[in-house]
């Protein structure tokens, strides 16, 4: 099986984490790479399951060692994806599913060029605002920061291979799942084509030598 990283990005409130969790429930061939962060755990979050919660000093030490495939400062906190986490999931024969921001996606693609990048688009600006406000965790200052970040992210959409509209969760999950299947078939087919072409070339070269 040809496995590869799958990156989901979206503005805060875009629904990428929910889609990732649904895919994890439904597909045995998808594994989740647990990211590192310096932010404090939210209610219900567990270290090693949702994130590896590091101190700033720990994070910077690992960053300097080159442990991260990508890392970024987001809303005043540091986030990063460990190369070892990505390798762990791939070695299990699973696609690595991650929900990371635009900065991280660009870095990660440099480290793992085989990655498939999918941008999850909210149905409208009004819906995105409503989702953020319904969290009841945003102060006016943090809301403004998230909106500025969302604007920057939306301008980076052309970098992505696919865009999935999240106007209906079930349909969005199904569309991302179809993308994974299609990419898997495409890559497997390309691998077979390269093998077949090589065999034909070798046969023709042998024939020429015999003439």
Q: State the pLDDT at residue 120.
A: 93
In tens, the pLDDT along 12-70 reads 778 898 999 999 999 999 998 888 999 999 999 999 998 999 999 999 999 999 999 99
141 vs 116, more confident: 116
Q: What is the pTM of this model?
A: 0.78
- Is residue 191 pLDDT above 80, yes or no? no
More confident residue, 95 or 208: 95
Condensed to tens digits (0 to 9), the pLDDT of residues 66-92 reads 999 999 887 789 999 999 999 999 999
Q: What are phi and psi of 77, to 5 degrees?
A: -120, 160
Share of the chain residues as helix, strand and coil, in percent rounded to the nearest 5:
50, 20, 30
Q: Is the pLDDT of residue 189 over 90?
A: no
Assign residue 151 a region: left if phi > 0, alpha if psi is -120 to 50, beta otherwise? alpha
CB of 14 closer than 8 Å to CB of 132: no
Task: Write down the mean pLDDT value for the chain.
Answer: 88
Q: How confident is the model at residue 205 (pLDDT cuts 50, 70, 90)?
A: confident
Report the pLDDT averaged over residues 131-141: 71
Q: Indicate whether 2 pLDDT > 90.
A: no
What is residue 38's DSSP assignment?
S
The residues, ordered by sequence, that sit 6+ positions from 159 with a Cβ below 8 Å of its Cβ are 102, 105, 106, 117
For residue 4, which of 111, 96, 98, 110 has the smallest C-alpha distance? 96
Per-residue confidence at 203, pLDDT binned at 50, 70, 90?
Answer: confident
Strand pairing report for 95-99 and 77-82? unpaired
**Among the four given CATH numbers 3.40.50.800, 3.40.50.2300, 3.40.50.300, 2.40.110.10, the one describing domain 5-33+95-210:** 3.40.50.300
Task: Report pLDDT for 148.
Answer: 80
CA separation for the pair 91, 74 (Å, rounded): 29
CA 4 to chain centre: 11
């Amino acid at each position: 099986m040809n496995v590869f990283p799958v990156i989901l990005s979206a503005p805060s409130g875009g629904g990428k984490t929910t889609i990732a969790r649904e895919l994890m429930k439904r597909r045995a061939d998808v594994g989740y790479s647990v990211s590192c962060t310096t932010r404090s755990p939210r209610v219900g979050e567990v270290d090693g399951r949702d994130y590896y919660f590091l101190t700033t000093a720990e994070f910077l030490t690992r960053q300097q060692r080159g442990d991260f495939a990508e890392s970024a400062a987001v809303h005043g906190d540091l986030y990063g994806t460990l190369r070892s986490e990505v390798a762990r999931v791939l070695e299990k024969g699973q696609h690595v599913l991650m929900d990371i921001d635009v900065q991280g996606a660009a870095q990660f693609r440099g480290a793992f060029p085989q990655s498939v990048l999918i941008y999850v688009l909210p149905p409208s600006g009004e819906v995105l605002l409503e989702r953020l406000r319904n969290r009841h965790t945003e102060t006016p200052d943090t809301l403004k920061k998230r909106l500025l970040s969302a604007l920057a992210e939306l301008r980076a959409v052309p970098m992505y291979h696919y865009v999935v509209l999240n106007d209906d969760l079930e349909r969005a999950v199904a569309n991302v799942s179809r993308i994974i299947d299609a990419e898997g078939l495409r890559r497997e087919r390309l691998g077979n084509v390269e093998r077949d072409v090589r065999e034909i070339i070798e046969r023709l070269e042998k024939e020429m030598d015999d003439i």
